[in-house]
Amino acid sequence: MKKLLAILLTVAVLLSVCACAKPAEANTATTTEAATAAPAAEDTTAAAPAQGKVYNIYCWNAEFQARFEKYFVEAGLVPDGVTINWVITPNADNAYQNKLDETLLAQETAAADDKIDLFLIEADYALKYVNSDYSLDVYNDVGLTQDDTAAMYGYTKDVCTDSNGVLKGLSWQACPAGLIYRRSIAEAVLGTSDPAEVQSKLDSWDKFEAVAADAKALGYYMVSGYDDDYRVFSNNATKTWVDSTGKIQLDDNILKWIDQTKKFTDAGYNNKAILWSPEQMAGAKADGKVMCYFGPGWFFDFCLAPATLADSEAAAAPGNGSYGDWAIVKGPQGFYWGGTWLCAAKGSDNLELTKLIMKTMTCDKDTLVNIVNSFNDFTNNEAAMTEIANSDFASAFLGGQNYISVLLDSAKSIKYISSPYDQGCNEKLLEAMRGYFNGTATYDEALDNFYTLVLEKYPELSR
């Protein structure tokens, strides 16, 4: 018995030694592999300075990733020996920015391969990062030239220009937005689904409201919920959310939106869905009853189109759910919404690659044209967009419509004003006003809740 025990113990010890030895072997294997890969990398980019092995990209969804895979990775532009590492943190409850902030603040002490090289930001909170030292000058640090960015829409550069006039981020898209309507419902409510005729019946908010009443009478909803047309009002505001003394101010457009949405909710013109909730997009399914959505290219491509499919496994084509039963018009008011910008992070050891990514993904005309063709985006090159607007380009999702030509004028006229607090103010207003719309809070209570929410998030402001 004792002997057996001794043998068992010996075997156990030996096994554990082997188990420990294995990863060590594996380690040496990978290092040799990397060592062999490294000279190859040196060959191709002989003139380039030493590059980091891991290229870290921080973002909140897979939108850019899909474009990057297709037009950067598949084109073979990633240098040998460099791994692209995606760190994707969803936006919910500010999680993405929390993660990004923590990593940026630790950027100086982080190991070279853990440093952020490229991070993505949205218009609503762009100034937070652009005004900080953590984003790099597109021209002087990254090394792009004025010529590279000459064809871009001016407003996309305004978004990422800091208080000293330094450009710190670039986008591949411009986000002029329109009213997207369901053709079959428009046929029932307006008697036509032709974009020109629909536009003539929806070109002011008064007409929009009158049509909403007609839609309601036929059992349809004009919009899916409270927040659908919010950006049409808020992004046409003439006052920023916060004045120079740190006082929160409400633009007249915001007040108009509150009035309209209250009226729409009480009259049953909307389906009471909350922005980004499953209910919001459920209204666009084949049996959905929602007539209008509002949004730019990324909205109908990345959010709306996938939701219209009856079979998400099958090809996205007319006949699959309500795909193809949609069209876009300017609507009561032109506006823009959102967008994604690429920023180079301070401390990155892959600036050369960042330059190549920015140049390829945001400045290269061919790539931008290709993105329009495969992703329904509206991309950031005025000349290319004008060309496509005058071509026979057709979007299958929008029933063969050339949406670029519809949005072309809006894109030129976008005027961008902002404060670093826009994201919080927009989000908290939508959140707080819901109570007023559905009757659980009075107008004053809801407004109080809005101020409370904003002051919780930004203690430096005042009401």
Partner 1 sequence: MGAVMSNTPIKRIKSVSYAKWGYFFIAPFFLVYLIFHLIPLGSTIYNSFFENYRSGLSQIGPKFVGFQNYITLFQNGELPKYAWNTLVIWMMGFVPQILVAMLLAVWFTSYRLKLKGQPFFKTVIYMPNLIMASAFAMLFFLLFSAIGPVNQFLIQAKILSDPLRMEESTTLTRSLIALMNFLMWFGNTTIVLMAGIMGIDQSLFDAAQVDGAKPRHVFYRVTLPMLKPIVLYVIITCMIGGIQMFDVPQILTNFTGEPNRIAMTLVMFLNKHLQSKNLGMGGAVSVLIFLITAALSILVFQSMTKEMRAANQQRKQFAKAEKEAK
Distance CA 386, CA 366 (A): 14
DSSP 363: I
Among 145, 200, 438, 462, binds partner 1 (CB under 8 A): 438
Distance CA 170, CA 380 (A): 9
Number of helical (H) and strand (E) elements in the chain, helices listed first: 19, 10
CB 303 within 8 A of CB 327: no
Which is closer to partner 1, CB of 123 or CB of 273?
273
Instruction: Find all residues with CB under 8 Å of 38, minimum gap 6, and list them.
Output: 81
We find the least distance from the C-beta atom of residue 459 to partner 1, in angstroms, to be 5
- The answer to whether residue 460 forms part of the interface with partner 1 (CB under 8 A) is yes
Distance CA 64, CA 240 (A): 29
Length of the chain, in residues = 463
- The answer to whether residue 107 forms part of the interface with partner 1 (CB under 8 A) is no
- The answer to whether residue 348 forms part of the interface with partner 1 (CB under 8 A) is no
DSSP 192: -
Among 1, 2, 278, 311, binds partner 1 (CB under 8 A): 278
Tell me whether strands 290-295 and 326-329 are parallel, antiparallel or unpaired. Answer: unpaired
Which is closer to partner 1, CB of 79 or CB of 420?
420
Among 72, 119, 134, 172, binds partner 1 (CB under 8 A): 134
Which is closer to partner 1, CB of 359 or CB of 428?
428
We find the least distance from the C-beta atom of residue 167 to partner 1, in angstroms, to be 19
Strand runs labelled E in 325-407: 326-329, 335-336, 340-344
We find the least distance from the C-beta atom of residue 276 to partner 1, in angstroms, to be 10
What six digits make up the tokens of 18?
Answer: 């082997």
**Which one of the spans 37-45, 163-171, 208-216, 452-460 is the region binding partner 1 (CB under 8 A)?**
452-460
Question: What SS3 class is residue 6?
Answer: helix
Which is closer to partner 1, CB of 280 or CB of 380?
280
- The answer to whether residue 128 forms part of the interface with partner 1 (CB under 8 A) is yes
- The answer to whether residue 274 forms part of the interface with partner 1 (CB under 8 A) is yes
- The answer to whether residue 452 forms part of the interface with partner 1 (CB under 8 A) is yes
Could you give the C-alpha distances from 123 to 119, 345, 420, in angstroms and in order?
A: 13, 17, 10
- The answer to whether residue 420 forms part of the interface with partner 1 (CB under 8 A) is yes
Closest CA to 221 of 172, 293, 289: 289
- The answer to whether residue 240 forms part of the interface with partner 1 (CB under 8 A) is no
Q: How many residues bind partner 1 (CB under 8 A)?
A: 37
Binding site for partner 1 (CB under 8 A): 92-94, 101, 104-105, 127-129, 131-132, 134, 272-274, 277-279, 282, 420, 431, 434-435, 438-441, 445-446, 449, 452-453, 456-460
